[in-house]
Amino acid sequence: MSRSITTVEHFIAEQEREHPEATGAFTDILLGISLAAKVISAAVNRAGLIDILGVSGTENVHGEAVQKMDDYANGVLVGILGRCGSLSGMISEEEEGFIHIPESRDPGPYIIAFDPLDGSSNIDVNISVGTIFSVYRKQSAGKKVRKSDLLQPGSAQLAAGYVLYGSSTMLVFTTGAGVHGFTLDPGIGEFLLSYRNMKIPSPGKNIYSINEAYYERWTRGQQRLVERFRSPPDGGASFSARYVGSMVADFHRTLLRGGIFMYPGTRDKPEGKLRLLYEVSPMALICEQAGGRASDGRRRVLDLEPNGLHQRVPTFIGSPELVEMAERFLAVARQSG
């Protein structure tokens, strides 16, 4: 039996026909992302052969050792998206400030934020890594980009997605009308629709995903939550622990199977590790569009107002029931002092 084949380009064109307010400029960005993903995917698959494994010898704005693949992926995205006439500029995990478009052309109506290669230190040991991106509309008039254009809440996102470089390369994104997944067919070099209207199973698998090496540094509420997962009450459902150490990989499993992914703060670093603009907010939009929930332990992630390009927030994301459970445990612990 023949199977209908839909490329990401065809899919985006279909969405434009269904939503007349959509513009070709916005489509240009998504196609730029898919092209960059193909280039990065090819490099990831050949990383051990082309001398882009290991650290580059420099540190990024966060004081973290930069992997050679971080530099490479960042350069690919900036290079390809920088030629996209739809953008006013870019925000990257690897760049301290806002990346302006070339002065030789007029700015476009959109701004994109991205983590070029999430989990890049895992490449050396052949573990899945990914790219995360988020698209906003420039709010101010005129050519100049203002602070209000950059620091928008996640609820203002027009699109968000990620690319998973694993046993296969997948592009998953939402434009606010459901979540759709595309798998790269290396034989023809195209992303083909493989998942339409993805939904987080509810209740789904009882899986919790967290780095338990930080147990002693957590607040008591976080400790009690994980203890509850480890030892459910009599008759309660048992839980399994799964943790890859690459947010894209851990979230992708959560999206497909259900459960909860957590990266909480610690007593000495209550803000956590993950960045709001280009890691947590895009994943939160995808999660909600797929029927899940995303919280910082107190509030809905998409309601948070960023205070800086690289702001960090605690993260609890996944099946609604488990995110609600996490919020209850943390709230009780706060109330009890």
Which has more pLDDT, 124 or 92? 92
The pLDDT of residue 18: 65
Whole-angstrom distance, CA of residue 191 vs CA of residue 111: 24
Do 156 and 149 contact (CB within 8 A), yes or no? Answer: no
Taken in order of first residue, the domains within the chain and their CATH numbers are: 8-195 (3.30.540.10), 207-335 (3.40.190.80)
Where residue 141 falls among pLDDT bands split at 50, 70, 90?
confident
pLDDT tens track for 270-279: 999 999 999 9
- Cα–Cα distance list, 192 to 5, 150, 170, 176, 256 (Å): 7, 32, 9, 20, 18
Q: Sort strands 129-137 and 315-318 into parallel, antiparallel or unpaired.
A: unpaired
Q: Give the predicted TM-score (pTM) of the model.
A: 0.91
Q: What is the mean pLDDT of residues 116-140?
A: 86
CB 207, CB 240: distance < 8 Å: yes
State pLDDT tens for residues 242-279.
999 999 999 999 999 999 999 999 999 999 999 999 99
Integer Cα distance of 329 and 305 in angstroms? 24
Model pLDDT, residue 106: 75
Contacts (Cβ under 8 Å, ≥6 apart) of 213: none
Half-sphere exposure of 286 (CA within 13 A, CB side): 29
* Predicted local distance difference test score (pLDDT) of residue 60: 54
Q: Quick one: which H or E segment has residue 159?
A: strand 159-165
Q: List the single range of 13-17, 90-94, 172-176, 315-319 with lowest mean pLDDT.
A: 13-17
Range of weakest confidence among 71-75, 82-86, 149-153, 186-190: 82-86
> Could you tell me what percent of the chain has a pLDDT over 70?
88
3-state secondary structure 49-74: CCCCCCEEEEECCCCCEEEHHHHHHH
Number of H helices, E strands in the chain: 8, 15
Mean pLDDT of 111-135: 87
Rounded to the nearest angstrom, the gap between the alpha carbon of residue 250 and the centroid of all alpha carbons in its chain is 11
Cα–Cα–Cα angle for 71, 243, 191, nearest 5°? Answer: 55
Task: Please determine, for residue 21, whether its predicted confidence score (pLDDT) is greater than 60.
Answer: no
CB-side neighbour CA atoms (13 Å) of 92: 22
Residue 52: pLDDT over 60: no
Confidence band of 70 (pLDDT split at 50, 70, 90):
confident
Among 16-20, 73-77, 330-334, name the most confident range: 73-77
* Half-sphere exposure of residue 234: CA atoms within 13 angstroms, side-chain side: 0
